[in-house]
Amino acid sequence: MKNSLIVALDFASKKEVFEFLTPFEGEKLFVKVGMELFYQEGPSMIHELKEKDHEIFLDLKLHDIPNTVGSAMKGLARLGVDLVNVHAAGGKEMMMRALEGLEAATPAGKERPKLIAVTQLTSTSEQQMQQEQLIQASLEQSVMHYASLAKESGLDGVVCSSHEASLIRQNLGTDFLTVTPGIRLGSDDLQDQKRVATPRFAREAGVSAIVVGRSITKAADPVKSYHKFMEEWGGILK
């Protein structure tokens, strides 16, 4: 998990996923399956990626009442993925029930998927947060608050931007995972992301894993782009 580059497979079909992965043949990737792909292809997508030995972050960002999230997590634990997430805004009881669900359903002898909580999405700016969510704090304070709740609930870490990672590590310890999307090289288009950073900035901030989507998946040469990100991030090719 530490020092990983997670490639966001934000595609609409299995066909597109395997077209993208074909030129990576022989490389073991850490991939992220999000809502777009999972709602279309379902658990079989996970099974097929596991057959190819890729590590998997199943990013469904659960956010519902504690009982519903706890039960849903049991199903995710049986899929055998490596990492799953919830929204910290769902609260401590929801996060604790999510963890219990995962623990209860992880098959004997298998490692429980790591559970992390989304703090403030990297597409949210401080101004937006204050005006739309009516949170009268700085963005950093809000992220730190959610990260503390996640830690108190027993979770393994959080999703945040690279800009908040070092504060979280200082306050909650270096074993508490910080997974950061919103990663761009200097010349990349920001698209809908607001709190962005380069892979080098993330590395220097001590981030555990970076998440990169469109800059790799939509690149003219995805393998070349992946290697460029890996080089700046200082990741290890497998």
Ligand X SMILES: O=C(O)c1cc(=O)[nH]c(=O)n1[C@@H]1O[C@H](COP(=O)(O)O)[C@@H](O)[C@H]1O
Q: Does position 90 bind ligand X by CB under 6 A?
A: no
Marked catalytic residue, from 14, 50, 61, 74:
61
Nearer to ligand X, 162 or 193 (CB): 193
Annotated catalytic, 61?
A: yes
Q: Does position 162 bind ligand X by CB under 6 A?
A: no
Contact at 8 Å (CB) between 118 and 142? no
Contact at 8 Å (CB) between 5 and 235? yes
Residue 29 in tokens: 């990737």
Q: Does position 225 bind ligand X by CB under 6 A?
A: no
78 is in an annotated binding site: no
Q: Does position 214 bind ligand X by CB under 6 A?
A: yes
Contact at 8 Å (CB) between 26 and 54? no
CB atoms within 10 A of CB 170: 11
61 is in an annotated binding site: yes
Residue from 21, 33, 55, 59 that binds ligand X (CB under 6 A)?
59
Residue from 210, 211, 233, 235 that binds ligand X (CB under 6 A)?
211
Cα end-to-end distance, the chain, whole Å: 13
124 is in an annotated binding site: no
Q: Does position 8 bind ligand X by CB under 6 A?
A: yes
Q: Does position 208 bind ligand X by CB under 6 A?
A: no
Q: Does position 70 bind ligand X by CB under 6 A?
A: no
Contact string (CB under 6 A) for ligand X, positions 114-153, x = contact: ----x--xx-------------------------------
Q: What is the DSSP string of 160-215?
A: --HHHHHHHHHHH-TTSEEEE--B--TTS--TT-SS-B-HHHHHHTT-SEEEE-HH
Element (H, E) at 61: strand 55-62
CB of 223 to ligand X, least distance (A): 17
Of residues 31 through 50, those in contact with ligand X by CB under 6 A are: 34
Number of residues interacting with ligand X: please give it, by CB under 6 A: 19
CA distance 225 to 217: 9
For residue 227, the one-letter residue type is: H
CB atoms within 10 A of CB 59: 25
Residue 3 in tokens: 């020092």
Contact at 8 Å (CB) between 86 and 98? yes
214 is in an annotated binding site: yes
Q: Which residues bind ligand X (CB under 6 A)?
A: 8, 10, 34, 59, 61, 85, 118, 121-122, 159, 181-182, 191, 193, 211-215
Name the residues annotated as catalytic.
61
State the binding site: 10, 32, 59-68, 122, 184, 193, 213-214
State the binding site for substrate: 10, 32, 59-68, 122, 184, 193, 213-214
